[in-house]
A and B are shown apart, each in its own frame.
Chain A
């Protein structure tokens, strides 16, 4: 479908897509490295994940319109109005999908923060900020690190089911726009405004610096 690639309005800019697909690549790698006790690689990948999550959160404040939380996250009333069909969603995440975005990003953030302080059962391998917490707190973090991972798996499964549901029952292809960035918008939908590249670069620098600082054991 070459049309879908070129036609339509710009919806997902490259920072959103790059971060999204990096998540997709990192999740199995993080799982694999944890499963095979390659903790040094797991920690480095985890810091990359941390930087990406932070960058995405920043992009949700200063980024392109479809990426902004203020634009797509609605309160309960807005959500009900959308679900009852009284209000149409703007291009991008609808108010229900917004909950999924918040839950996924929230859990990813929780997971990387837990990873910073957690430790293996022997108290030998540990996250860069493990020295700031007690053995018992780190033990709780270890269990939560695993629990949140399982919650993430559940939400990812739900995410994939939703994409399939939209494809099969609503005839709405969500995948191609996330790959190529463009989407044919409904009649009367305004094309969203895109943020300049320098802002993405600024977010990337701040996020990378934070990840590096935390990875170095930070606030000594």
Chain B
């Protein structure tokens, strides 16, 4: 009995400790996570562009990539809490403008989400030209935001 109690307490402590760790994710963790998220989108963008260069592009492939982009796009805005800019001392190309002009930044992130969802819909609709057009729109939102909020050096 006594042993079980100790085990329970220990487990409780572990859960609390784990929770604390999750809340207190270091800036470095946050930056790594958002970079991984951007890489998911980069890969899916390349996957999309590779596919539309094929003589017979597959809408299924575009759909998969569109889903990946849309899934990652919704996580972008939350990936930049205070303290995860250049001042974190970790290598990042995020510009201070993200925190100086949060409304514009979030508007840009929102544009990406909408464009990604439109790409998802277009790819699912079965119209290849519509999917291509929607893909270009997604690329435009990436570039638009990067111009203002990401440094060129990487």
Contact = CB atoms under 8 A, between A and B. Distances in A.
Interface of A: 119, 121-124, 126, 130-131, 135, 138, 217, 220
B53 interface: yes
B56 to A, nearest CB: 11
A123 B53 contact: no
A121 B41 CA distance: 11
A165 to B, nearest CB: 34
A124 B139 contact: yes
B28 to A, nearest CB: 20
Given A131-B49, A131-B50, A123 B55 contact: no
Interface residues of B, number: 18
Interface of B: 39, 41-47, 49-50, 53-55, 139, 142-143, 146, 154
Nearest to B50: A131
Contacts of B50: 130-131
Contacts of B55: 220
24 contacts: A119-B46, A122-B42, A122-B142, A123-B42, A123-B43, A123-B44, A123-B49, A124-B45, A124-B49, A124-B139, A124-B143, A126-B46, A126-B49, A130-B49, A131-B49, A131-B50, A135-B39, A135-B42, A135-B43, A135-B47, A138-B46, A217-B53, A220-B54, A220-B55
A122 B49 contact: no
A210 B146 CA distance: 35
A135 B154 contact: no
